Structure 1
Amino acid sequence: MVDNSRQEQQQAARDSVIRGNDIHNEVRNIVVDALKDGQMEPGHIKEVLQAVVNGAFEGANNAAPEAKAIMQQTVAGIDDALSQVAQASSLAIEEAADNVEHFTEHDLKRALTDLNDLEKLFLDTLNEVAKGGQEVTSNTISNIVSHLQQSSTSVGRTVSETSGHLSEFLSRKGKNIQLADVAKTTGASVARVASGLLAGIADSLAPDDKAGR
């Protein structure tokens, strides 16, 4: 089931690149659709990103002159999708903090850690996939990542904004959450809440699809 889903996401990204009509928004929607119905955990997110970037690679390899623009649009679409993931995660953490009977402090720590690591997960995954691609697309992705590291990503800005808000929110709740040494064994319940909230965020932004960044 998981393998089939990844193949479908890879194929969808490939088809989007080949059509070339609205790669940015179509890629964003592929990523969001893959995450809003599942457990929005780091491992799952990484698998989805790998499938989408690999699919874009496949579509771009036959369009060398346009490969740079294609991969830039692909990465921008993923970046926007992960910004929505960050928003959903932030809202899920707030909801979890208000439901102490269902969520432990460890759940909150894990969810906060995953949120703060989201930009790194994004860039690390791009670098890993680039190593396995053909020369033109691999070099293009590596250059895009270098540029993003020197400037900023949409998901990075969103995480920074939401983390500041969450610190104040949790402080008002009397929770002093320390992120060090968080075991990667729990937190799935918060991820499920975030996955459900992602669908609502995606729907609310749908009318602006054509507006671009």
Structure 2
Amino acid sequence: MDYRHICTAATVAHHDLLAAHQAPEAGPDSMNLRLVLMRHLIMEIANVADLATISGALYKEHPELGELHRPLRRGLEFFKYLRNVYVGHFVPDLCEKTFEWVPQTYAAIGSVEPAKMWIVSWFALETAINTYADPETGHKIFPSETDLQYPPDYTRFLNFLGETVLGSIAYASCLISTARSHVDVPDIEQDMMELAFAAGRTSFGVLKKGKR
């Protein structure tokens, strides 16, 4: 297990979740900005979900991590799904389903007006939420279809997003301290010369996902 990676990635996620969560709470008037912040929150929750997947072995020695993760599972999987089909990747099936579910999207297609581009993204988010369902058992998170133009549905989604963000921040914070306790940190003052020489020999190349 790469504790340094886990600690560092959790730190980045924790920072962004906290900053992006505080920004909407401050009340930006621009719905364009609020949507961007929501998309970033979804992305970072999904990153926490990825970290949880590779950190399970820590729960035996650190049960507090497992206790924080347990009530988060549904939210982490849901927002990871939204990351995979809407935020991190905009999949063709979501595009097709958006125009089927919200045909009004055609009124904004191809426009470069900020308000109309917002509408396209907003309708795609709503559609992505609704596709997190099983044809046999129905919606996996909410008890009914979500209409983000309907205030109770919008509030329901925001509340679930906010709860998952706060839970993810708490989980990431615990993960940071837990993983940090397993990291072999060099003595910066004593080893600085050697570290500096190593830095000078650094060569760069394109990084590939999942490859060291």
TM-score, normalisation: structure 2 = 0.30
Larger radius of gyration: 2
Higher helix proportion (structure 1 or 2): 1
